[in-house]
Each structure stands twice: as C-alpha cells, then as structure tokens.
Amino acid sequence: MIAVVKQEATNDQLQGFIAWIENRGFKTHVSQGDNETIVGIIGDTTQIDPFLLESMSIIERVQRVSEPFKKANRKFHPEDTVVDCGHGVLIGGGNFQVMAGPCSVEGKNLIRIARLAKEAGATMLRGGAYKPRTSPYAFQGMGEEGLDLLLEARAELDMPIVSEVMDPRDVQLFVDKGINVMQIGARNAQNFNLLKEVGKTNTPILLKRGLSGTIDELLMAAEYIMSEGNTQVILCERGIRTFETRTRNTFDLNAIPVLKHLSHLPVVGDPSHATGYTRYVRSAAYAATAAGADGLEIEVHDCPSEAWSDGAQALTPEQFADAMRRIKLIREAITADLSERD
C-alpha cells in the first residue's frame, strides 16, 4: 500500500505519520520526489483501512498495490482451481459444465425435468428448496422435502445436485444430506456469517455475485469462504442492477474474463437471472460461453407457465436441448487449437 503525502506537509507531520504506521507493526519506505512524497507501507496491509489514512489531513491519497483477496487471487495461485462436484463432474481448468433445472423444486415434476435436462446434455441438476423471494407471501420453497426430491433425482440420474442454502442454521442439514454443491444466492453474497459457515465445510460452493456487488466484493465474498478453509468455490456472474429496465438485470459479460484474470477459481454464467426473459436467455448463454466461462447455470421447466417461480425466464427442455448443441459448438470454436492453420 502506498500513501501519497500532501506537498504542504511539514517534516514533523511526515515523521508523525511514519511513527503511527510503524507503531502498528508495519515497515515503511519513504520516497521523496520533487513534487510529492510517497510512503510505501510494507506488511499485511489488509489490516489497514485505506479510508482512515485518507481521512488524515496530510494524506493526499492512498493506493493499494496488492489486492486484499489473497486466497482467491491468481497471483498467489497461478493454476486454475478444478472443483470436484462429485459423480465424476469437475469444473474449471478446461472442464466446462452446465447446471440446469427448475428455479424451485416443486414436486414430482423435478425428476421429469431432470431426465430431459440430462438427455439434452446438462451435467448437474439445479433446484431451489429454500427460496429467497422478494415477497414474504410468495412461495418460499419446499424446504427439506425439496432437498429429498433432489436426492431422489440424483440417485436415478447419477449427476451432482446444486441447491441454495440461505440460513447458517441449515448448512449442517445440507452437509448431512450430502448436497453436492451449496449455492449462495445473490441476496446473500454479503451475508458474512453464512459465508463463514459454508467456509467451514468441504462442500463445493456456487457463489453468486450480489445484486449490486462489484467484482471485488464478489472476490472478497469468496475470500470469506476460503479463509475458513473451504477452497472449493465456483464464482457466478448472474447480472447486476443498473439503470436498464428492459431486462431483469444487466449481464456483466466483462466480469467473466476479468474474474478469470484476477482469480484461479472457476467462473460460471447464469443467463437466466441475468436477463429474466426466456427469449433472451439463449443469446446470453452463448455470449457467456464465448467469453470463456467454465460453465453455465440455466433454469429449465417443462411447463414454464405453471412454474412456481421464475417461469418467465425458464427454457423449455426443447429450447434447452437446442441451446446445448450450439453451446457445444461455441466451446469447440473458442478452445480450438489453431496453431496448425495458415
């Protein structure tokens, strides 16, 4: 971290600042230029609040040199992390996976949808048993019964299951039931107690970006999980809030290459929540694939008009099957070795 000291600061003030920093266990390196004096602060500067330094009268500005996320940072872990989701399904490091299924687990139709999704090429089954709904009067999910339906589908189809956990008190239940991947939803992306709780498990985590979360906030949320010991984190771009109202959210496609540059964790795109309308989901899925995502999470329902949540953005199994064929071609195009070509 570097602190730029104002030109008008006296030497006494500068020495006072240096003493303040060093008293906290950091080393300093002062570089006196013609126009400004820069104090380099050496040590674990994640412990320093840059805003506090900037509030000091002699400080012009403060800049971090290294990012505050360490465990999620590619600088300290250059190779891609490969997350083992169970049932032979790996994601990251060149392994591309598609999680598909209804927004909510609604009952016996789950197995029907799951069979069709698998047939079309889905490699993981998603379904929410605990649903974060904007209205307390909307369907809140089937709870434990919903998890059991996912387990039944998994037993028949031999594919890992992904489901959202909303409450730290439910984490142990998910672990006891052997849910393969716990999803942290956008609304809980900064629920630090929940992040710490899932961080104490060995279960892979699908971590969604917050509704208005920055890329750095997403990485710091991953850091919360990883700092507790769980390094099996998959990042998910699911659209963010902007001024645009034509779609449910604005799909931040940039986030995919940016996250892959900054972090070694696998990155997936969720074109369903990113757009909110079935008619746009496939385009967004293709774009995320082309942007280099390690996978996709797509909502699929065999009768979207009867879905208990998010029917407006569900693909039918036929639409999903068509999308999967094209996604496969896009993957082939972007991973092709062109070195032999003219």
Residue nearest to ligand PEP (CB): 185
Separation CA 298–CA 295 (nearest Å): 10
Pick the closer one to ligand PEP by CB: 80 or 270.
Answer: 270
Two tokens at 2? Answer: 């570097």
Residue 106 interacting partner from ligand PEP, Mn ion, none (CB closer than 5 to 8 Å by kind): none
Q: How many residues bind Mn ion (CB under 5 A)?
A: 2
Smallest distance from ligand PEP to CB 276, Å: 10
Which partner in Mn ion, ligand PEP, none is near 100 (CB below 5 to 8 A by kind)? Answer: none
Residue among 159, 177, 164, 254 at smallest CA distance from 207: 164
Q: In the complex, what is the shortest distance from the CB of residue 103 to Mn ion, in angstroms, rounded to a whole number?
A: 3
**Contact residues for ligand PEP, defined by CB under 6 A:** 103, 128, 132, 185-187, 208, 238, 270, 273
- Closer by beta carbon to ligand PEP, 40 or else 311: 311
- C-alpha–C-alpha distance, residues 91 and 1, integer Å: 34
Rounded CA separation 167/157 (Å): 28
Buried b or exposed e, range 72-107, using 16+ CB within 10 angstroms: bbbeeeeebbebebbeebbbbeebbbbbbbbbbbbe
Alpha helix stretches (DSSP H) within the chain: 11-22, 50-54, 109-120, 144-157, 171-177, 192-199, 215-227, 255-262, 271-275, 278-290, 317-335
* 238: partner contacted, choices Mn ion, ligand PEP, none (Cβ within 5-8 A by kind): ligand PEP
State yes or no: residue 310 binds Mn ion (CB under 5 A). Answer: yes
**15's tokens:** 């020495």
- For Mn ion, give the closer residue by CB, 80 or 310: 310
Question: Shortest distance, CB of residue 174 to ligand PEP, whole angstroms?
Answer: 15
Which residues neighbour 10 within 8 Å (Cβ) at sequence distance 6 or greater? Answer: none
The CB-of-191 to ligand PEP minimum distance in angstroms stands at 12
**Min CB(273)–Mn ion separation in Å:** 6
CB of 238 to ligand PEP, least distance (A): 4
Nearer to ligand PEP, 103 or 157 (CB): 103
The alpha carbon of residue 151 and the mean position of all alpha carbons in its chain are separated, in whole angstroms, by 24
The span from the CA of 331 to the CA of 111, in Å, is 28
Q: Which residue has the tokens 């990485």?
A: 219
- Site track for Mn ion across 77-116, x = CB under 5 A: --------------------------x-------------
Binding residues (CB under 5 A) for Mn ion: these are 103, 310
